[in-house]
Structure 1
């Protein structure tokens, strides 16, 4: 629904999408109107369906104007028309909503390759301003598209409302209770309508007309004009003035409404009175978009003579409409249907970019598919690259006589298939030929960027720099684009300082914010600075160059690369929850292209490592490595191996899942790999690699190297030096706004402070770690912070460790250290052992089931005479000696005891008499269950056995006493 502040901020609707006025004469339908109003109020989607001519649209318009007058000025009206191929309703709706938002640019290429993303964008945009949308004549849309759209709107729309008219019942389960089946009007209402329309007619005639109308107000109007009831369709055109015939024939050739000014260039228009009379009879439909034949009248005029000449005239007139992509597409349809292929090709050569820029690539591809003409191959290839769908790419072919532009598109199609080596070779040939051509500078730059992107991803960054070194860029924006790509590969070559100099040159020169290269510039800057870990400087550069994230669809559902780079920025800036949403959306897109998938897997692996979603991480990294290997993505292979080291470090595993020996690592990745490998080796007592020489500007490497030095000094027994190295890692990460580095450094600082015995500083550092982790959305580091807080008074009590036992895939360090403190098997690295030794680890006393110690449970603290339970609850038994001794007696006997054993131990008796002792034992057990069980009527912790009582199997039981103290009796 609208909110007042939203309405004030919303731009005025374009005229073509404003809600038309209600019919001036509306009779009857009172019951239907009340029901329709209730449906609209109740849920986001309402469908009105029924046969043609029953007044579905009139009912909707009247209801909205009469019952929702406050909303009517902001209702979008989108009318679908019969097109060949049928319209994709989600594209038509998104175009209308984007127009209403006044979005100057919609990144159609990404959206059209991602149907789910397109629907999500549509819903998000409509919900943002609480739009109401009337979708008229849905039966003209592609049926599958219509069902998908209605289903998504019914499930996910929140603040928007969607009112749909159709001649077909959508039969969707989600809309069973939101559908109004419109029947014919009763004769009494039709008679009243007839008498209001033709008050001069005799009463008998009006009754005959009403009875013959068969419930249809449209049919009633035809009969009132004098048509015979049995031949109303055939008589529809009877009495049409001769001067209106050319107009009707021109409109019969069209599927789209056409403005009167455009029509006047084709045929002489009849008088306004004649046009109004034709509209009243239902022959013409008038809207803000123009004039159109009613569906019932169209076949009558189409069969009335040879319309080929008229269609050709209309097509040529539409082809001359310079700024209307829909007119161009309609002209193309007409020319192809007439077999005027030369004119169709000429139209495509001049208007293809206009059509594609409006998001009409799927419809254009469908129009071209059945036409067997080699000259159309170039346009089919262009559509396939624009859509990015594997099936479309596989069906596309290089034209028989390809231009350099065709070769470039062919190279781009290879990139989208993940064939980088082939794409690089083709792009190199295009670049060389374009450089030799008089007007080829622009294509040479574009081809060079494609070529170097492939070379760089293949691990050949040096070659990429060589290619860029021979390219000349025209103008400030071309130079900026060339410079940012050069900076990216300088960084991969380990020349970070030179890369940053390139960026500073771009910043100093400035860019044109309206240039078509701005989106690509933003993407490249994000990749460069995030790889360096310099997030704060990135934000400054983007702000200086006014390269903000694009509004609307481009922000979350735009071009594929932009989606991924926005997610990359979210991860490194510590916005992990938004990153999850971005990757969730792009995941559906990545299934459709080979090229995207390794990048998505890599970025999501980075996010999961930081948040603590480690379940299945090793398998994910193996998949990433395998897919990157098949596609030749050397940089993603490097990422997979470095991340495998980081996962092994987090899990305390001495073995790394992926082998680094066959990597083609650029100097950048070689540095990070050496730093990660050294940290891993230090933690597991393996021969460490040499300390890598890390450039000052590579924040990632500096943090990793400092963490390795801190771990080495901590294991060697020098906590102060470890603390200094960890502080240095935190300082550099904090300075550059690299949140993942901050979290890793703070955790290492906590280890050093624990070893140093500085409880006050440890408390501060653990609190800061938790604060930063919670702000970023990282359960992993938040749990690690809580574990350090639990150690402030020495070895944590078992009850404090319970909550960490099941966090093996969330906070693995806290989980394994907690298991070790409870005497359960745990894979510890050398730093873990040093930390646990510093805590003065107190081994637990005999436990009834140590094999279950990796699960949260409950236990008895014999020193404090209390029981701890899952969730942190405790039960004091110091004043309940008998209850305490019953539990202690069961624990002493391995978690199971007979009634006799319990009675003799608890009441300190020498003999046992069932008739005397069982009753008081039952009473005591009942009291214990009331204290210990979540549901005393279904005991799970203290269960009954055949001859006594035992601790249940559902949760482990543990027993602990103060070190060196005898257990109380």
Structure 2
């Protein structure tokens, strides 16, 4: 059952008003639709796949509500699998999708889609779908387990799965007689029908475009390369092989890998074409389709592509062995270019494993007169040198790369530009790295990127966006990265830790513990030291932000191994030092070393926290200010916001409110620009603490709200008298704040307050943050004071004598007046039924809840 408000974009359109022929194919589709849950319809562009499907649905299944989803022309920044989830969810009336879970375990997508479609008994037409590993997995699951739903898929090329025998139909050319009838029925102007039919070569779409325009049919559809590839499906194997040997390298270089893979998937079992099908599978990253040991029998060029594919799959040990074997084979066969490129892949493996010295030695062993290989070598060397903090040498190599790359052909520059962007990122030059990646992802250059290059580029874009504080861009970047970051890929563990960092800076802490666990698990399963260090740092940052589980996080097996058994990451060591300081350990400063830009920022912040533990407030402020300035200078907006927030806390702890107010303004502007709810909330707290004591009562509502800034809730609770948490640095900071803020009195010390009374402006603040003024209600305010002064509960006599300043109390005279006034007080306080703030007692009245008073 479809929802009543299904968008028009998801409703099946009517078939063409004039539909001719295809009787045999229509009968086959009628049988297939009724017989099984999956039907695959393929054929070249314009041959009538969609029209035929719609015609059969209208003729034989008119009463069935159909969801129609077009995947043709889907924008590059929209992931097809995520779009499919949106479509099925909309049709099944699923209003909320747990995207974190869906993106984290992408292998469960077929099950998620099937469950939604089965519950709603959907009939889905997925139009214009290209061959894709997800499609194959989804159709396999649906064919086995679907009972109520139907899935009709159209596209230019499919490989019939063994799970859908008899459920695949390929539409061929239409007979000329039917095409001429179609032309006569639709032409609005004179036309040479015979010539038009002949030129259309059996393609009704090409014919109809010619009829509409009055011009001769253009059967090339998009461009000559696509037209030539589509024509391969009906040619004999020898003809296809001859075309592939002449044109396939050009097609793959120009970004047609997925199109060619779709065509060859139809003929994958023909031995003559197996080599090119395997090559295309590697180009598009479909590693599951590649036979074991494929590289051993491939040509040198194909073996290099397979090596890139398996490296992208994240199996570093296998990739390193295969790279060494390919180097030896290429050198033996006199192919130094292939040997050099294989060495650069081996260098990347060693970098990921943390073996930087070995990686540098290997890349320096590449000697060549080839300009392209020389640029690739120097680009790889510059990245290794940057990771070794040999910045001057890295910059020198980078200049050689820039000078050499301009002499290379357009598409040969792509992998070299990526290496340059990676080096710039490692050097901390975020803006320059961002500009290079933007150049890579624009126009024709982006189209020519292979699967192996696109994944790392998108990952680097994501990491730079997080560091630059472009948090509003993160969701779109994660969506584009998702197909390249599935479990088992090189990008998978990095994507997990990047998502955690983005959520920490944005203030999205709901369910983040599970995200951290998944990120650590993905890092453990891989052999990528950089990914493991990133996951450990993300876990510690979450614990620091939430103020919980610091000790547990430091004892995590991966974090312990990175401390004791792996080459130390300086940035991770500095992050761990911050955690140990928060636990109250007086950790000595590490010896001076050459630091990366981000390492310098974190080190200055750690120094500031160490000074706080010693009570050296001036030194702490100086170190924190240096962290802010360093982060601001180099564009690390997320780190800058964090350091500026800490600096403002330090200034307030010293009573320097005017300076704090200046920092609050900058923090607020930065947080709003970033789209960080966390730093917006922290700016709000710090702004309130810079104001007179009456503002303290805003803490009543903040104390109960951990999201999106846990430190705000912890600070509010501490300032309102709750016991301090385990964080020694925060405890010292908050204790110092108390000495410079208004005096808070409690009726129930240690309890979390639910409302408060402010003497400075005679107001009451409720737990939702709303403020009620008593300036024009002196009698009601006086009754509140009497109740408070008597320990939260006063007798009728005490209230009458002190509230009305009467010498004596008489129930017949005073009870009714007191009752009416208490009712007005409850009304002003929005006290419900039963009352929660002004309670009735046997002898009088009492304050309910856990109020506080600021004097």
Name the TM-score, length of structure 2 as normaliser.
0.71
What is residue 225 of structure 2 aligned with on the other side? 324
Q: Answer yes or no: is 1:449 the counterpart of 2:344.
A: yes
1:478 CA drift (Å): 3.5
What is residue 317 of structure 2 aligned with on the other side? 421
Q: Answer yes or no: is 1:959 the counterpart of 2:855.
A: no
What is residue 126 of structure 2 aligned with on the other side? 145
Where 1:960 maps in the other structure, the secondary structure is: strand
Structure 1 residues 788 and 329: alpha-carbon distance in aligned structure 2, compared to 1, 3 A threshold = same
What is residue 341 of structure 1 aligned with on the other side? 237
CA–CA distance in structure 2, aligned partners of residues 704 and 409 of structure 1? 40
Q: Is this contact kept in 1: 2:586–2:610, CA < 8 A?
A: no
Where 1:434 maps in the other structure, the secondary structure is: helix
Matches within 5 A, 1:252-401: 257=206, 288-290=217-219, 323-331=224-232, 333-335=233-235, 340-356=236-252, 357=254, 359=256, 361=258, 364-365=261-262, 367-369=264-266, 371-389=268-286, 391-392=288-289, 398=294, 401=297
Q: Answer yes or no: is 1:868 the counterpart of 2:765.
A: yes
Superposition RMSD in Å: 5.0
Q: Is this contact kept in 2: 1:459–1:665, CA < 8 A?
A: no
What is residue 709 of structure 1 aligned with on the other side? 607
Structure 1 residues 219 and 626: alpha-carbon distance in aligned structure 2, compared to 1, 3 A threshold = closer
Q: Answer yes or no: is 1:681 the counterpart of 2:580.
A: yes
Identify the match of residue 519 of structure 2 among 624, 639, 642.
Answer: 624
CA–CA distance in structure 2, aligned partners of residues 592 and 326 of structure 1? 35
Aligned length: 716
Q: Is this contact kept in 1: 2:792–2:847, CA < 8 A?
A: yes
1:426 CA drift (Å): 0.9
Post-superposition CA distance 1:22-58 (Å, at most 9, x none): xxxxxxxxxxxxxxxxxxxx97788652466269xxx
Structure 1 residues 780 and 758: alpha-carbon distance in aligned structure 2, compared to 1, 3 A threshold = same
Where 1:845 maps in the other structure, the secondary structure is: strand
1:477 CA drift (Å): 4.2
Identify the match of residue 648 of structure 1 among 538, 543, 552.
Answer: 543
Post-superposition CA distance 1:781-833 (Å, at most 9, x none): 33333333333357674313235324534323332121101112341533323
What is residue 27 of structure 2 aligned with on the other side? none
Matches within 5 A, 1:569-648: 569-587=464-482, 590-591=485-486, 594-648=489-543
1:884 CA drift (Å): 2.8
Q: Is this contact kept in 1: 2:779–2:803, CA < 8 A?
A: yes
Matches within 5 A, 1:786-935: 786-792=684-690, 797-841=695-739, 844-847=744-747, 851-853=751-753, 857-861=754-758, 865-870=762-767, 872-877=769-774, 879-888=776-785, 913=811, 919-933=816-830
Q: Answer yes or no: is 1:251 the counterpart of 2:201.
A: yes
CA–CA distance in structure 1, aligned partners of residues 531 and 474 of structure 2? 19
Post-superposition CA distance 1:848-877 (Å, at most 9, x none): 695444xxx422235654212356543233
1:461 CA drift (Å): 2.5
1:701 CA drift (Å): 1.4
Q: Is this contact kept in 1: 2:386–2:423, CA < 8 A?
A: yes
CA–CA distance in structure 2, aligned partners of residues 764 and 458 of structure 1? 45
1:655 CA drift (Å): 1.5
Matches within 5 A, 1:437-476: 437-438=333-334, 440-476=335-371
CA–CA distance in structure 2, aligned partners of residues 360 and 510 of structure 1? 25
Where 2:772 maps in the other structure, the secondary structure is: strand
Where 1:145 maps in the other structure, the secondary structure is: strand
Matches within 5 A, 1:126-145: 144-145=125-126
Higher mean C-alpha displacement, 814-823 vs 521-530: 521-530
CA–CA distance in structure 2, aligned partners of residues 90 and 553 of structure 1? 26
What is residue 489 of structure 1 aligned with on the other side? 384
CA–CA distance in structure 2, aligned partners of residues 838 and 792 of structure 1? 14
Structure 1 residues 218 and 539: alpha-carbon distance in aligned structure 2, compared to 1, 3 A threshold = closer
Q: Is this contact kept in 1: 2:641–2:671, CA < 8 A?
A: yes
- Which stretches in structure 2 are left out of the alignment for 5+ residues? 1-6, 21-43, 54-67, 88-122, 131-148, 152-178
1:635 CA drift (Å): 0.9
Identify the match of residue 594 of structure 2 among 684, 688, 695.
Answer: 695
1:112 CA drift (Å): 7.4
CA–CA distance in structure 2, aligned partners of residues 451 and 259 of structure 1? 54
Identify the match of residue 454 of structure 2 among 559, 563, 576.
Answer: 559
CA–CA distance in structure 2, aligned partners of residues 829 and 466 of structure 1? 45
Structure 1 residues 577 and 551: alpha-carbon distance in aligned structure 2, compared to 1, 3 A threshold = farther
Q: Answer yes or no: is 1:734 the counterpart of 2:661.
A: no
Q: Answer yes or no: is 1:505 the counterpart of 2:400.
A: yes
CA–CA distance in structure 2, aligned partners of residues 118 and 285 of structure 1? 40
What is residue 152 of structure 1 aligned with on the other side? none
What is residue 550 of structure 1 aligned with on the other side? 442
CA–CA distance in structure 1, aligned partners of residues 413 and 704 of structure 2? 47
CA–CA distance in structure 1, aligned partners of residues 73 and 497 of structure 2? 34
CA–CA distance in structure 1, aligned partners of residues 796 and 738 of structure 2? 39
CA–CA distance in structure 1, aligned partners of residues 366 and 182 of structure 2? 70
CA–CA distance in structure 1, aligned partners of residues 292 and 72 of structure 2? 26
Q: Is this contact kept in 2: 1:259–1:291, CA < 8 A?
A: no
What is residue 770 of structure 1 aligned with on the other side? 668
CA–CA distance in structure 2, aligned partners of residues 585 and 877 of structure 1? 55
- Which stretches in structure 1 are left out of the alignment for 5+ residues? 1-41, 56-77, 98-105, 120-141, 150-169, 173-215, 225-239, 261-275, 293-320, 963-969
Where 2:307 maps in the other structure, the secondary structure is: helix
Where 2:367 maps in the other structure, the secondary structure is: coil
Where 1:867 maps in the other structure, the secondary structure is: strand
1:891 CA drift (Å): 5.6
1:677 CA drift (Å): 2.4
CA–CA distance in structure 2, aligned partners of residues 564 and 712 of structure 1? 34
CA–CA distance in structure 2, aligned partners of residues 836 and 898 of structure 1? 38
Q: Is this contact kept in 2: 1:455–1:463, CA < 8 A?
A: yes
Structure 1 residues 484 and 931: alpha-carbon distance in aligned structure 2, compared to 1, 3 A threshold = farther
Where 1:868 maps in the other structure, the secondary structure is: strand
